[in-house]
Amino acid sequence: MLKCKDVVANATDYVDKEMNWKQSMSMALHLLMCGHCRRFIKYFKLSLQALKNKKTISQADADKLSSEVIAKALADAR
Ligand SMILES: [Zn+2]
């Protein structure tokens, strides 16, 4: 069974669908049971979409935003 920190660690792969079937099933199962991670993934997806739509954003800004999202999710999961 995945823990919240595993979900956070694998969030990028999950959102980009770079996971095998078994991994994405584990993620989906955890998200089904965990409201924290559902909110996190939802927000994470929105952030990624915003970044992709905003072509002018620098890689540094993108990295900063991702780490802020991840840090917040980890704080919530504690
Ligand atoms: Zn969780």
* pLDDT (tens place) for every residue of the chain, 78 residues total: 899 999 999 999 998 889 999 999 999 999 999 999 999 999 998 888 887 776 666 667 767 777 777 777 777 765
Q: Can you tell me whether residue 12 is helix, strand or coil? A: helix
pTM above 0.85, yes or no: no
Ligand 1 center–CA 30 separation, angstroms: 6
Q: What distances in angstroms separate CA 25 from CA 13, 19, 63, one per listed residue?
A: 13, 9, 27
Q: Could you state, in order of their start, the residue ranges of all structural domains in the chain?
A: 4-77
Ligand 1 center–CA 13 separation, angstroms: 16
Ligand 1 center–CA 45 separation, angstroms: 16
Ligand 1 center–CA 11 separation, angstroms: 11
Ligand 1 center–CA 16 separation, angstroms: 19
Helix boundaries (H) for 1-78: 4-9, 11-15, 21-33, 35-53, 59-77
pLDDT at 73: 75
